Amino acid sequence: MRTLVWYRGKDLRIADHEPLKVAARDGDVVPVFILDEYFFAPAAARRQPFRIQFLLDSLASLSANLEHLGSRLIVASGRSADLIPTLAAKWKVDRVVAQSWVAPVGRARDRLVSRKLAVPLQLFDTETLGTPGSLRTGNGDPYSVFSAFARAFARDVKVPPPLPAPRSLPPLPKDVKPGKQTLPSLKSLGITRNERVLEGGERAARERLKAWLRRDARDYDELRNLMAVDGTSRLGADLKFGTLSIRTVWQAVDRALRELSPDALRVYQNELLWREFAHSTLFDRPLLLQQPFRAEWRGFPWRDDEDGWLAWVQGRTGYPVVDAAARQLLATGFVHNRARMIAASFLAKHLLIDFRRGERHYYELLTDGDWANNDMGWQWSAGCGCDAQPWFRIFNPVTQGEKFDRDGAYVRAWVPELGLMPAKHIHAPWLAPPSVLAAAGVRLGANYPRPIVDHAVARQRFLDTAKRHLG
């Protein structure tokens, strides 16, 4: 049997890769990645430079790993919906195998490819721990409350152990000619390499996981909310691009922490279950990428506020934590989870700007930008999502800063204008005495903005608007 293993950007690994394993067990293997213009047209790639950098690193690593096993990754450029059926026919494969996608764009593509293929397309549900759409309430509905979903998961899902990488693979069959296409360089796409973006690829991912397990994992429950501390696992992009499988992470963390730190284990697995919940929710409700989960939010009167938007994007709102989050994103392609929540809430609630605009911005610039998790995060923060933050709870960026960046180190790292501000005043510089501002070299309205909205006024404006709209 000859199998085309279709890699599609969410499974860039050789370990715990069921499609690869099944293909290798049954005969000839033809691994393929399509450089789809959806991501790789230079203009599209330049809108999401950090993700493309991580993706290209990961593809280079996958290609080297497959060669090491005796095979090679064939790269072709075009629309996958056209190319996969053409290549499958040309190379006379008996089937195409791949990891399934939860995101609607991938499912639509797979339906199209499946119709065009003359051979079966076999999909494996390994993007998540359980099979998407399998957990149901007593009424047979998808869950919309996280805690109930997590209980059902604990009861019904047994996470299988990850599969080891194959020891070797058969060489490409002689009649399969790979063509001349290679992986594009960042330069050819017009992207400058950013050394602050995490390194992609399976080896880097494994090292990241190992280092975190050695270093901070045991204190995850305490460190995870501290914005200045690099105490979280930083595996978001690895899970998004599949340089580590979710089962591998689940098992490794379980093994490392079960005895050592059960609290940290419980809290970390809970976060992995939020990922599971987000994916499951998007699987069942694909329209969520266009509209709020709660029907009463449709037609919400968001404001057009270009100045507010630009200030939020560029980190010039005058609220130090919100600005630090914006600048961390622009500089590194990452934002700490707590800072994401504060910044997203600020955009939707303080500025009354449509959360979907922020969602798009995050999706493009976060290295871990992921349809399901990002949409869940934004709808949660705006208050319109599945099991969201109640709409009338509005984060105060000053008190959030004081609580989760007590000594101001997060702000100082990303907003150097405030580098010399004492901790006591760093989260609300406009309230600092003139002598403190002068000593820190801060000139409000000159080298650091005054707040673009007053917290109390903006809060009331949101509450009034939401009350009117939501009844």
Residues that bind ligand FAD (CB under 6 A): 224, 232-236, 239-240, 271-272, 274-275, 278, 337, 340-341, 344, 362, 366, 368-370, 373-374, 376-378, 381
Considering beta carbons, is residue 71 or 381 the nearer one to ligand FAD? 381
Considering beta carbons, is residue 139 or 290 the nearer one to ligand FAD? 290
Considering beta carbons, is residue 126 or 232 the nearer one to ligand FAD? 232
Considering beta carbons, is residue 293 or 378 the nearer one to ligand FAD? 378
E-assigned strand segments in 262-399: none
Cα end-to-end distance, the chain, whole Å:
61
C-alpha distance from residue 311 to each of 302, 420, 427 (Å) = 17, 22, 17
**Residue 253 Cβ, how far from ligand FAD at the closest point, in Å?**
9
Residue for token pair 């190992």: 210
**Residue 280 Cβ, how far from ligand FAD at the closest point, in Å?**
11
Residue nearest to ligand FAD (CB): 377
**Residue 107 Cβ, how far from ligand FAD at the closest point, in Å?**
19
Query: 322 pairs with which residues across the strands?
Result: none
Q: Cα dihedral sign for 34, 197, 367, 304? A: negative
Considering beta carbons, is residue 7 or 334 the nearer one to ligand FAD? 334
**Residue 433 Cβ, how far from ligand FAD at the closest point, in Å?**
34
- Two tokens at 460? 């009331």
**Residue 367 Cβ, how far from ligand FAD at the closest point, in Å?**
9
> Taking a C-beta distance cutoff of 8 angstroms, is the pair 60, 66 a contact?
no
> Residue 298 burial by CB count (10 A; 0-12/13-18/19+): exposed, middle or buried?
exposed
Considering beta carbons, is residue 121 or 351 the nearer one to ligand FAD? 351
Please report how many Cα atoms fall inside a 13 Å half-sphere around the Cα of residue 413, on the Cβ side.
20
Long-range own/partner contacts, residues 110-119 (CB < 8 A, 24 or more apart)? 112/81, 113/80, 113/81, 113/84, 113/85, 116/81, 116/82, 116/84, 116/85, 117/84, 117/85, 117/88, 118/85, 118/88, 118/89, 119/88, 119/93, 119/94, 119/95
Residue 148: how many CB atoms within 10 A of its CB? 14
Considering beta carbons, is residue 91 or 319 the nearer one to ligand FAD? 319
**Residue 46 Cβ, how far from ligand FAD at the closest point, in Å?**
19
C-alpha distance from residue 33 to each of 19, 300, 341, 360 (Å) = 14, 41, 35, 25
**Residue 212 Cβ, how far from ligand FAD at the closest point, in Å?**
8
Considering beta carbons, is residue 231 or 320 the nearer one to ligand FAD? 231
**Residue 417 Cβ, how far from ligand FAD at the closest point, in Å?**
25
Q: What is the CA angle 432-440-412, rounded to 5?
A: 90
